């Protein structure tokens, strides 16, 4: 019974295992000097491993609502339309379309010769089936609203699909980016979320599903019959790695080829020459913005001058430098700079504490020993944000300091997401919030700013009511004429800038990093993944040998 032998016995086992480390099958790394000299010619083969923090819950986008699941579905399915690299709508399964002059009828001309991954032909019956299921009460979807606006849908021939709306409805076109479902595989399931396709999808897209080990990984292989041509990269694996630090270590050791970096990782941790020889970092403006929203019925925030004062007090440059390490831009409204609906000429609020104090004085706030007081009450409020979000927590901390400088005490309270929504947002039980919106390319924001959307559980939870904005929102969504829409949205941004129902804070950069062997990546307003099927690895640089 000697204990020493057991401890020593562990050592040889460790050595043995280390030796086995050398025996992985079929992969090699190319030294960077050789990589630079390789001809840049598209070639088929190799595999890309992406890291994902969250797991997916299903492949049918209609019945899932998280970004990870939608992204996964995007490998396998197509919609009638999609966004191109400049965020303009282009046809995917629809070759072309016409909108009737009164804007109420859209006629889609579908591509011919497209096949489902099981060989069956894609026709307008599949589109009709998808539409019917979207409005079917048995389908547990959150996206039915857009499709319920359809008055009549018809499929006069296998390659034509026509929808008629009660009124001209511009966002309608974008809603047809919803993934089309295969009728022949789903029609016998009354509830598509229970069908096998939610776990083993079959679509028309560039990749076909191979395997899903929940919580661990998803595997896809290139679809040789894809209607836009077989993708170059032969296999895609999504690895679920819930921790950002772990994922970064995997990136550095080659276990992951593509992931999103945080600002400090982008600027500091990846600045070594070593890193730059193996990876390409990209940065482009993300389609999202962060804001400080006020409950407009709050006695302090009812007064526009107070909101504007806070906008002057907020040091947006400090926010961008502190939270984003410079990787982002100031937000002046609810649109992303560079998009067609973005109005660059609205009223701005540079960091000006003196101006802020002046406005507050106008509104009746007097300074008393460093704090602002009115009618005996100090200017104190609590800002809510959701727990676990580092960027928002930092934003709150910086704003707290900004406001303290002009005599306003802002307390920070973080709440876990589900409780946040149910207890505070839905019940309108908050003073102010720090939140963000992600932006779809279509500029219609009716649900966020229209006065009819201020009910409980609706999205205009700050309670913004402005008749001119209401009219403009209605105008903007009821015409397909870009110029007319632009005018309406420009004017809306002017009003919002003046009224400041939110203090618009910043638009962050998206910071993907990709292993250098992947070529064919061209950053554009839509990001880098819009042309994913066209990414490739030159033959000599390929790391994984994929058996077909």
Partner 1 sequence: MLRFVARRLLLTIPLLVGISLISFLMIHMAPGGPISLTTDLNPRATAEARTRLEKYYGLDKPLHVQYGRWLARMATLDFGESFSPDGRPVAEKIRERIPITLTINILSMGLIFLVAIPIGIYSAVRQGSLFDRVSTVFVFTGFSIPTFWLALLLMILFGVKLGWLPISGIGSLEYQSLTVMGKIADRARHLLLPVLLAGFTGLAGMSRYMRSNMLEVIRQDYIASARAKGLPERRVIYIHAMRNAILPVITILGLSVPELLGGSVIFETIFAIPGMGQLFYQGVMARDYPLIMGILTIGAFLTLLGNLLADVGYALADPRIRQG
Partner 2 sequence: MSGNAGIRRDFARRLLRNRLTVAGGLVIALFFLVAAFPALFTSQNPDRIDVATILQPPSAAHPLGTDDLGRDVLSRVVYGARVSMKVGFVAVGIATSVGLVIGLLSGFYGRRVDAVLMRFVDIMLCFPTFFLILSVIAFLSPSIVNIMVVIGLTGWMGVARLVRAETLSLKERDFVAAARAQGAGTLRIIFRHVLPNTLAPILVAATLGVAGAILTESALSFLGIGVQPPTPSWGNILTVGKNYIEFAWWLSLFPGLAILITVLGYNLLGEGIRDAADPRLKGR
Under the rule (CB under 8 A), what is the footprint of partner 1? 1, 3, 6-7, 17-18, 20-21, 23-27, 47, 49, 55, 57-58, 63-65, 69, 137, 140-146, 193-194, 198-199, 213-217, 237, 239-243, 245-246, 249-250, 252-253, 255, 416-419, 421-423, 425-426, 440, 447-448, 455, 457-459, 544, 547
Q: How far is CA 176 from CA 63, 180, 323, 409, 475, in A?
A: 16, 9, 36, 47, 21
Q: What is the x/- site pattern for partner 2, positions 253-292, by CB under 8 A?
A: ---------x-xx--xx-----------------------
Q: Which residues of 13-27 are buried (b: 16+ CB within 10 A; e: fewer)?
A: eeeeeeeeeeeeeee
Nearest-CA neighbor of 500 among 289, 315, 332, 345?
332
If contact means CB under 5 to 8 A according to the sort of partner, which of partner 1, partner 2, none does residue 518 touch?
none
- φ/ψ of 524, rounded to 5, equals -150, 175
The dihedral through the CA atoms of 335, 340, 342, 344 has a sign that is positive
If contact means CB under 5 to 8 A according to the sort of partner, which of partner 1, partner 2, none does residue 447 touch?
partner 1
What's the rounded Cα separation, in Å, for the pair 547 and 46? 10
Minimum Å distance from CB 411 to partner 2? 11
Using the contact rule CB under 8 A, the part of the chain among 195-203, 219-227, 243-251, 359-367 near partner 2 is 243-251
Three-state SS string over 289-315 comes to EEEEEECCCCCCCCCHHHHHHHHHHCC
What's the rounded Cα separation, in Å, for the pair 537 and 539? 6
27 binds partner 2 (CB under 8 A): no
409 binds partner 2 (CB under 8 A): no
The dihedral through the CA atoms of 416, 437, 163, 158 has a sign that is negative
Which DSSP category does 421 fall into? I
329 binds partner 2 (CB under 8 A): no
Minimum Å distance from CB 96 to partner 1? 26
Using the contact rule CB under 8 A, the part of the chain among 139-147, 176-184, 391-399, 488-496 near partner 2 is 391-399
Minimum Å distance from CB 324 to partner 2? 11
Greatest Cα-to-Cα distance within the chain, rounded to the nearest angstrom: 92
C-beta closer to partner 2: residue 245 or 354: 245
**What residues does 30 pair with on adjacent strands?**
none
Write out the H or E segment, with its range, that includes residue 27.
none
Question: What share of residues in the chain are helix, strand, coil (percent, to 5)?
Answer: 35, 25, 40
Return the residue of 38, 144, 219, 397 that touches partner 2, per CB under 8 A. Answer: 397
- In contact, 504 and 342? CB cutoff 8 Å: no
Which DSSP category does 463 fall into? -
C-beta closer to partner 2: residue 374 or 413: 413
C-beta closer to partner 1: residue 219 or 361: 219
If contact means CB under 5 to 8 A according to the sort of partner, which of partner 1, partner 2, none does residue 37 touch?
none
Give the angle subtended at the CA of 262 by the CAs of 256 and 263, to the nearest 5°.
135
What's the rounded Cα separation, in Å, for the pair 459 and 473? 15
C-beta closer to partner 1: residue 3 or 188: 3
If contact means CB under 5 to 8 A according to the sort of partner, which of partner 1, partner 2, none does residue 43 touch?
none
245 binds partner 2 (CB under 8 A): yes
If contact means CB under 5 to 8 A according to the sort of partner, which of partner 1, partner 2, none does residue 70 touch?
none
The three-class DSSP label of residue 361 is helix
What's the rounded Cα separation, in Å, for the pair 246 and 394? 22
318 binds partner 2 (CB under 8 A): yes
If contact means CB under 5 to 8 A according to the sort of partner, which of partner 1, partner 2, none does residue 64 touch?
partner 1
**Would residue 370 be called left, alpha or beta, if left means φ above 0 and alpha means ψ between -120 and 50 degrees?**
left
What's the rounded Cα separation, in Å, for the pair 352 and 369? 20
What is the pairing mode between strands 45-52 and 233-240?
A: parallel
> How many residues are listed for the chain in this entry?
548
If contact means CB under 5 to 8 A according to the sort of partner, which of partner 2, partner 1, none does residue 412 touch?
partner 2
Minimum Å distance from CB 262 to partner 2? 7
Return the residue of 95, 105, 305, 413 that touches partner 2, per CB under 8 A. Answer: 413
If contact means CB under 5 to 8 A according to the sort of partner, which of partner 2, partner 1, none does residue 421 touch?
partner 1
C-beta closer to partner 1: residue 308 or 395: 395
What's the rounded Cα separation, in Å, for the pair 408 and 534? 53
Minimum Å distance from CB 36 to partner 1? 24
If contact means CB under 5 to 8 A according to the sort of partner, which of partner 2, partner 1, none does residue 213 touch?
partner 1
If contact means CB under 5 to 8 A according to the sort of partner, which of partner 1, partner 2, none does residue 146 touch?
partner 1
C-beta closer to partner 2: residue 429 or 474: 429
What's the rounded Cα separation, in Å, for the pair 414 and 386? 5
Both tokens assigned to 138: 């048995």
Minimum Å distance from CB 312 to partner 2? 18
Minimum Å distance from CB 419 to partner 2? 6
Binding residues (CB under 8 A) for partner 2: these are 244-245, 248, 262, 264-265, 268-269, 318, 321-322, 325, 387-388, 390, 393-394, 396-398, 400-401, 412-416, 419
């Amino acid at each position: 019974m000697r204990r020493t032998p057991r401890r020593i016995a562990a050592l040889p086992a460790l050595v043995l295992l280390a030796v086995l480390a050398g025996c992985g099958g079929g992969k090699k790394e190319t030294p960077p000097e050789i990589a630079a000299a390789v001809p840049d010619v598209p070639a088929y083969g190799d595999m890309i491993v992406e890291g994902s923090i969250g797991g997916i819950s299903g492949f049918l986008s209609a019945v899932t609502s998280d970004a990870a699941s939608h992204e996964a579905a995007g490998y396998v399915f197509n919609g009638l339309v999609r966004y191109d690299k400049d965020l303009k709508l282009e046809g995917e399964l629809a070759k072309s379309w016409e909108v009737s002059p009164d804007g109420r009828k859209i006629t889609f001309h579908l591509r011919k010769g497209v096949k489902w991954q099981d060989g069956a032909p894609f026709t307008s019956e599949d589109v009709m089936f998808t539409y019917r299921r979207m409005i079917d009460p048995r389908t547990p979807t959150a996206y039915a609203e857009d499709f319920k606006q359809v008055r009549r849908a018809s499929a006069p021939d296998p390659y034509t699909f026509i929808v008629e709306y009660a009124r001209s409805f511009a966002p309608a076109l974008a809603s047809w980016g919803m993934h089309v479902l295969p009728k022949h595989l789903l029609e016998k399931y009354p509830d598509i979320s229970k069908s096998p396709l939610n776990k083993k999808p079959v679509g028309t897209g560039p990749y076909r599903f191979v395997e899903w080990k929940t919580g661990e990984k998803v595997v896809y292989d290139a679809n040789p019959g894809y209607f836009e041509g077989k993708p170059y990269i032969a296999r895609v694996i999504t690895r679920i790695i819930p921790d950002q630090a772990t994922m970064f270590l995997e990136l550095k050791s080659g276990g992951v080829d593509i992931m999103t970096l945080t600002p400090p990782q982008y600027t500091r941790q990846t600045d070594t020459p070593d890193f730059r020889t193996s990876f390409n970092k990209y940065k482009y403006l993300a389609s999202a913005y962060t804001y400080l929203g006020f409950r407009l019925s709050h006695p302090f925030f009812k007064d526009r001058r107070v909101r504007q004062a806070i906008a002057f007090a907020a040091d947006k440059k400090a926010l961008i430098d502190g939270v984003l390490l410079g990787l982002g831009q100031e937000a002046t409204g609810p649109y992303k700079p560079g998009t067609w609906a973005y109005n660059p000429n609205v009223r701005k609020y540079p960091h000006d504490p003196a101006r802020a104090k002046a406005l507050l004085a106008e509104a009746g706030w007097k300074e008393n020993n460093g704090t602002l007081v009115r009618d005996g009450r100090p200017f104190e409020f609590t800002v809510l944000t959701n727990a676990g979000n580092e960027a928002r927590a930092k934003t709150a901390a910086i704003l707290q300091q900004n406001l303290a400088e002009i005599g306003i005490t802002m307390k920070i309270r973080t709440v876990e997401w589900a409780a946040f929504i149910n207890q505070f947002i839905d019940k309108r039980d908050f003073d102010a919030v720090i939140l963000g919106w992600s932006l779809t390319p279509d500029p219609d924001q009716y649900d966020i700013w229209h006065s009819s959307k201020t009910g409980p559980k609706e999205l205009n939870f700050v309670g913004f009511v402005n008749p001119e904005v209401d009219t403009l929102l209605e105008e903007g969504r009821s015409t397909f004429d870009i110029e007319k829409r632009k005018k309406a949205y420009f004017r809306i941004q002017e009003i919002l800038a003046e009224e400041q129902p939110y203090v618009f804070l910043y638009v962050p950069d998206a910071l993907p990093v990709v292993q250098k062997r992947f070529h064919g990546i061209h950053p554009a307003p839509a990001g880098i993944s819009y042309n994913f099927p066209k990414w490739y690895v030159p033959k000599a640089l390929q790391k994984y040998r994929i058996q077909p």
